Amino acid sequence: MSTALGLRALFLVTAGAASVAAQTPLAVRVGSPRYTAADVQFMQGMIGHHAQAVVMATMAPTHGASAQVALFARKIINSQNDEIELMQGWLRDRGERVPDPKDPHAGMDMSMPGHEMLMPGMLTAKQLAALDSARGVDFDRLFLTGMIQHHQGALTMVATLFDSPGAGQTPEIFGFATGVDADQRAEIARMQAMLATITRSTSK
C-alpha cells in the first residue's frame, strides 16, 4: 500500500473513531496520544519538500533522454501530489496553518524565526537552475542525483520527527511518517540503480 493510500485509510478509521471517542469516558481516553507542535511542523515542512520534488519531476518528460527516468518522474508527481493533499487536509482539520505548495517559502524551515533555511535535502535555486538548463543524459544524471539528495532529506525529516519528545505517536502521523521513510528508501535504491546504469552506458 502506498503512503497516500495508507494515510487515507488511517483518516477514515480515525474519523470513525472520533464519534466513538466522544461517547467514551474521559478516564478511558486520557491515555490516547495527541499531536504535537513537532507533528504540525513536520506536515507543514513536508508539503514544501514534496512540492519541490514535483517541480523537479515535471521537467523530466521534456528535458531527459531516458524513458525509465520519465516514467519514474511521473510516479513521483502522482504520489507527491496525493500526499500534499492529504497533509493539507490533516492540517486544515486541526485548524493549523496550511502552506501553499506554490509559495517559495513553503520549503523553508520556520522553526527558528529569523533564520530561514531550506528543509533538509532540498535543492538550492542554483541547483534547480542547473537542472532546468540540462538536457538529455546530463539531465537524467542531474535529476537522479538531485532527487536522491532530496529523498535523503526526507529521511532526515522523519528521523527529526521521531527524535522530538512525544511526536509521531498518533496513528495518522506515525503511519504517514513511517510510510514516507519506507517509500523514500525504496525509491533511493531504485534511483541509485538507474544512475549506475547511466554511468555504465556513458563510460563505454
Please write the tens of the pLDDT for every residue from 27-48: 434 557 899 999 999 999 999 9
Please write the tens of the pLDDT for every residue from 54-88: 999 999 999 999 999 999 999 999 999 999 999 99
Say what the pLDDT of residue 66 is.
96
- CATH (domain of 21): 1.20.1260.10
Residues 6+ apart with CB under 8 A from 111: 41
Quote the number of domains for the chain. Answer: 1
Sequence-distant contacts of 77-81: CB under 8 A, at least 24 apart: 79/2, 79/3, 79/4, 79/183, 80/50, 80/51, 80/53, 80/54, 81/50, 81/54
The answer to whether the pTM exceeds 0.85 is: no
> In which domain, by residue range, is 134 found?
3-202
CB of 62 closer than 8 Å to CB of 73? no
